[in-house]
Amino acid sequence: MLHNPFQMDSIPYPVIIIDHSGKIIQVNKEAIAFAGMKESVLLNATVHKFFHSNKLLEADCPLCNYIKYQKAPAFYDTYYEDKKIWHKVSFSPVILDNGKDGFLQMGVDIAEPISVMRKRVEHDKSIRSLLRKIPVIYYRVDQHEMIQEMVGAALSKLDLNVDVQTGVPATDIFHDLTGKYEMIMRHGQYFFESQHATSQGKLWLMHYIFRTSGNNELAGFALDVTSMKRAQRAMLKLSIDKRNLARRMLQVQEDVRHEIARELHDEIGQSLTAVRVIASAMSGATNVTTDFYQQSATSISDVADKMYDSAHELMYRLHPVVLDTLGLEAAIQSCIHASGLHHTDVDIKLDIAGEVETMDQLVQLTIYRIVQESLTNIAKYAKASKVQIKMQRKKILNESAASSDFFELEISDNGIGFSEDKKQNKHGMGIFGLHERVEALGGVINISSRDGAGVSLFVRINLKIAEID
């Protein structure tokens, strides 16, 4: 499954995430509507069963063959006989949650263009009227490679004037056709994509289809695939971000393991060695006095106290037990004390409003970690004399009787601040980690600063979204 499924639901075409075996991992709302099945039925089923042509066996399906062998092209015209529609189906690589490669299959409805082409629209006035209303371009090129006809609502997108373009060489508009006419006539069709910049500075990506139509003429359609390509790039970026996050999480895990190993060696390991030395001295001693045993017992007790403190500090860093036992406010107070800022005469003010103790445990832990990381950074870098921590839970009843439940956190200091190019640090969870924690709960985070002006951090979490299981 991919992260942030709401991004898929914002795409107005059927989108399916599949693994290398062709199993469905995730679908958006358009795909569910297209299949006419419940999401639970679609998941883990073969993509061929619900989203490929029912006229072909899986072994003969070009879409299944692409998934299996990953051979070009990654675009296919697919006819769904049971639904009587055509889709332009595309594939893009994605990274699944388990780290393995998968595919994003997207289908764009091209039913109108294909049906228009099949009915030879150059002789049908009603179809031409329809073309002027839908976002495509229909064109016809004669045997002399001259444009004989262009019609469609998408003409305005490309700043093309029908009166000016008719009768001019096709290669003046479709540069990729240069030298391709004979090849198209031999093979029957040709596809390409081209980017167009309008006089207003807008960029459109069009997918062109050329096919032979008899009398040594070519006919075809230009489809606007700009939004589909943007969606593919967004999904690819999401996939890359997931990979970077996975790499970051592995590094954090290794850093934590290294720190635990060092603590066990430096603190607890040395303490155990000291106990062994004392015990050895006691067992080998002769003619000892009561004072000797008392001093040895005292030494063992001191070492045990040191071991307890080390173990307690290590457990505290791994998970704040005080958060589970005493609640968020007490945990934040403990975090402030542990930061050591009060020893440096830093004035720290904490203001808490609303029912923060009843929030979801994951939300409370996230808030605690943000405060902990912020105070650590302030202690290390800020050189601040004042720190303000404000947190509040807001419950708002709207006029429609629907309620809103938000949590807001603001941390600010009057330290030296930092410039934008120094915003990502390499210590602890870092700013990258703060963003990931908040966004995982569906919240927003903003960190602002400039040299010499301190740092301000603001977090806002919609608790109704964050607390959904």
Which one has a higher pLDDT value, 113 or 312?
312
Residue % of the chain over a pLDDT of 90: 15
pLDDT score at 3: 47
Once rounded to an integer, what is the mean pLDDT over residues 100-121? 65
Residues 6+ apart with CB under 8 A from 332: 350, 352, 367, 368, 371, 389, 391
Q: Which of 308-317, 354-363, 391-400 has the highest mean pLDDT?
A: 354-363
pLDDT recorded at residue 427: 42
Asked if residue 312 has pLDDT above 90, the reply is no
Residue 113: pLDDT band with limits 50, 70, 90: low
Q: Which residue has the higher pLDDT, 160 or 67?
A: 67
26 neighbors 8 (Cβ within 8 angstroms) = yes
Q: State the pLDDT at residue 332.
A: 94
Cα-to-chain-centroid distance, residue 326: 35
Q: Where does the pLDDT of residue 5 fall: very low under 50, low under 70, confident under 90, or very high at 90 and above?
A: very low
What the block records as the tokens of 104 is 């994003």
Alpha-carbon gap, residue 319 to 260, rounded angstroms = 13
193-241 residue pLDDT tens? 777 777 777 777 778 788 887 778 888 877 777 778 788 888 888 777 7
d(C-alpha 156, C-alpha 162), whole Å: 10
Homologous superfamily (CATH) of 114-224 is: PAS domain (3.30.450.20)
**How confident is the prediction for the chain on average, in pLDDT?**
79
CATH 3.30.450.20 residue ranges for the chain:
6-109, 114-224
Q: Scanning the structure block, which residue is given the tokens 């229909």?
A: 138
Residue 422 has pLDDT above 70, yes or no: no
Where residue 152 falls among pLDDT bands split at 50, 70, 90? confident
What is the arithmetic mean of pLDDT over 30-50? Answer: 90
Percentage of residues in the chain having pLDDT higher than 70 = 83
Tokens at residue 114, please? 């294909």
Q: Which of 102-111, 155-164, 169-178, 256-265 has the lowest mean pLDDT?
A: 155-164
Assign domain 320-469 to a CATH class: alpha beta
Most confident among 47-56, 70-79, 362-371 (mean pLDDT): 362-371
Q: What is the pLDDT of residue 389?
A: 96
Partnered with residue 397 across adjacent β-strands are 403
| Cβ atoms of 407 and 392 closer than 8 Å | yes
More confident residue, 397 or 104: 104
Q: Distance (Å, rounded) from C-alpha 464 to C-alpha 369?
A: 21
What confidence tier does 4 reach under pLDDT thresholds 50, 70, 90?
Answer: very low
Give the span between the Cα atoms of 20 and 339, in whole angstroms: 49
Pick the CATH number of 6-109 from 3.40.50.720, 3.40.50.280, 3.30.450.20, 3.20.20.60: 3.30.450.20
Q: What does the pLDDT read at residue 384?
A: 92
List every span in the chain annotated with CATH 3.30.565.10: 320-469
